[in-house]
Amino acid sequence: MAAASKTSAVPIPTDAELLQAQADLWRHSLYYLTSMALKCAVELHIPTAIHDLGGNTSLPDLLAKLNLPAAKLPFLRRIMRLLATSGIFASDNNAEVETYRLNPISWLLVEGIEAEDHTYQKFFVLSTNSRHYVEAALSLADWFKKDLPLPTPSPFEVLHGVPLLDENTSLLDEELDQIVEQGVAAHDNLAGGTIIRECHDLFKGVESLTDCCGGDGKTARAILKAFPGIKCTVLDLPKVIANAPDSDGVNYVAGDMFKFIPPAQAVLLKVVLHLWNDEDCVKILQQCRKAIPSREKGGKVIIIEIVLSNSMGPIMYESQLLMDMLMMVNIRGRQRDENDWREIFMEAGFTDYKIIKKIGARGVIEVYP
Ligand SMILES: C[S@@+](CC[C@H](N)C(=O)[O-])C[C@H]1O[C@@H](n2cnc3c(N)ncnc32)[C@H](O)[C@@H]1O
């Protein structure tokens, strides 16, 4: 009886719905092949080859440029057809000769372009599709079943025995460690210039700023260029600061943000907090609070991070949720929605916050003491 009533509660799909469901299931089960085709295109340097061919190419010309065997032409066509359908290249299949062009996504994968807004994303693709990341994702169900100690280690950490983005990651695989480092840098630096241009008011009137976890100072230098009056300090770990430039006008401080953040009117945390769990974020924000003056004196923390929300449409939201899965599978951090952010701000002793702007998948948040 119970089984019968359960069945009746589920509407039986129509024939049309079943056929659509089957096609959708193919798509969802096989999306990894799109990722692998993208990885293959990057490894074969296809975006750079199309760029060198003038940004638009026929398949035979592409094959010749890539120095691939003639017998691979039909296979190249199949990969390019999928990648164009997925939006990674543009194509003109109605023309007499089938051609493929760069679009903004593939433009990000062209090597050797010198442009302020071109941040080469090859290593983001290679790291996120590396064997170690994929194996960690394959272990998800096993990880769910394990009763693990708190704070919960990631599937990557449990499977591979070392955390990602850790000084011990290179012991697991030196090449992976380097690819990940470059992948993270590519991820962090994309749209840095856009953010400064679009959020001009964020830095207006700010006399001093500490870029907490500011790495090699790229962001601080860009802020200094746009606002020469700001006294900029970068805080990062000693091994990072050891490689900081000598005289670029930025003050570099080696240290641990959990212990001390150099005081300034504003502290910037650009794509940092998603790497940490909530407890650690509260500790970091408490240190930020100690480093800034009162709100009346212009004290604020500026956070640039994903703010999960479906308000920008399902595709942007799916990108944000996939970035959250990337965190869940590989490190202890997470992406957060506005409620999650509010909770950790209040927990850290802040009184108010404002989402100043949404820029692409990310939000710019000011948090006030
Ligand atoms: C994702 S990167 C930050 C990216 C940078 N804010 C940007 O926008 O380009 C994380 C940085 O945090 C630094 N870091 C990690 N733990 C730290 C700590 N306890 N104190 C200071 N810096 C730390 C790392 O060395 C690394 O440079």
Q: 167: burial class by Cβ within 10 Å (0-12, 13-18, 19+)? A: exposed
Calpha distance 280→301 (Å, rounded): 16
Minimum CA distance residue for ligand 1 atom 12:
213
Q: Which long-range contacts (CB under 8 A, 24 or more apart) does 15-20 make?
A: none
Sheet arrangement for strand 90-92: 56-58, 99-101, 90-92
Q: What is the distance in angstroms between the CA of the first residue and the CA of the last residue of the chain?
A: 60
CA distance 97 to 253: 58
Look at residues 82, 184, 167 and name the one whose alpha carbon lies nearest to residue 133.
184
Give the pairing of strands 251-254 and 231-236. parallel
Instruction: Take atom 18 of ligand 1 and give the residue whose Cα is closest.
Output: 256
Taking CB atoms within 8 Å and a gap of at least 24, the contacts of 198-202 are 198/357, 198/359, 199/356, 199/357, 199/359, 199/364, 200/226, 201/356, 202/302, 202/356, 202/364, 202/366
8 A C-beta contact, residue 115 and residue 189: no
Query: Mean pLDDT for each consecutive 10-residue tract of the chain (369 residues)?
Result: 59 94 97 98 98 96 98 98 97 86 96 80 97 98 97 96 93 95 89 81 93 93 91 95 89 97 98 97 98 97 96 95 98 97 98 92 95
Crossing angle for the helix pair 73-85 and 59-66, to the nearest 10 degrees: 110
Q: How far is the CA of 235 from the centre of ligand 1 (A)?
A: 8
Tell me if residue 160 is catalytic.
no
Looking at residue 147, its pLDDT comes to 97
Q: Which residue has the tokens 């794509």?
A: 271
Q: Where are the domains of the chain?
A: 22-107, 122-186, 200-368
Residue having the nearest C-alpha atom to atom 9 of ligand 1 = 188
- Best mutation site among 236, 261, 267, 274 for ligand 1 pocket (most ligand atoms within 8 Å of CB): 236
Helix ranges (DSSP H) in 207-354: 218-226, 238-241, 278-291, 314-330, 338-347
Nearest ligand 1 atom to the CA of 239 is 25
Burial 72-83 (b: 16+ CB within 10 A, else e): eeeebbebbbbb
Atom of ligand 1 nearest to the CA of 269: 6
Tell me the CA–centroid distance for residue 121 and ligand 1, in Å: 19
Report how far ligand 1's centroid is from the alpha carbon of 227 (Å). Answer: 23
Q: Are 37 and 129 in contact (CB under 8 A)?
A: no
Of 129, 223, 221, 140, nearest to 183 by C-alpha is 129
Residue 135 token pair? 């194996």
Predicted local confidence at residue 6, as pLDDT:
58
Whose tokens are 């805080």? That residue is 235
pLDDT in tens, 216-257: 899 999 899 999 999 999 999 999 999 998 888 999 999 999
Show the ligand 1 pocket: residues with CB < 6 angstroms.
184, 188-189, 213-215, 219, 235-237, 240, 256-258, 270-272, 275
Ligand 1 atom nearest the C-alpha of 189 is 9
198 alpha carbon – ligand 1 mean position (Å): 23
Residue with CA closest to ligand 1 atom 11 = 213
Q: Whose CA is nearest to atom 1 of ligand 1?
A: 272
CA 236 – ligand 1 centroid, Å = 6
Architecture of the domain made up of 22-107: Orthogonal Bundle (1.10)
Closest CA to 345 of 293, 311, 302, 296: 302
Structure tokens at 208: 């001093």
- CA atoms within 13 Å, Cβ hemisphere of 298: 14
CA 296 to mean position of chain CA atoms: 34
In whole angstroms, give the CA distance from residue 308 to residue 284.
Answer: 21
Report which protein residue has its CA nearest ligand 1's atom 5.
Answer: 214
Which candidate in 51, 132, 160, 274 is catalytic? 274
CA of 39 to the centre of ligand 1 (A): 27
> How many residues are listed for the chain in this entry?
369
- DSSP states of 105-124: HHHTT-TT---TT----HHH
Task: From the CA of 192, give the closest atom in ligand 1.
Answer: 8
Which residue bears the tokens 């942007």? Answer: 316
Cis peptide, bond prior to residue 369, ω within 30 of zero: no
CATH architecture of 200-368: 3-Layer(aba) Sandwich (3.40)
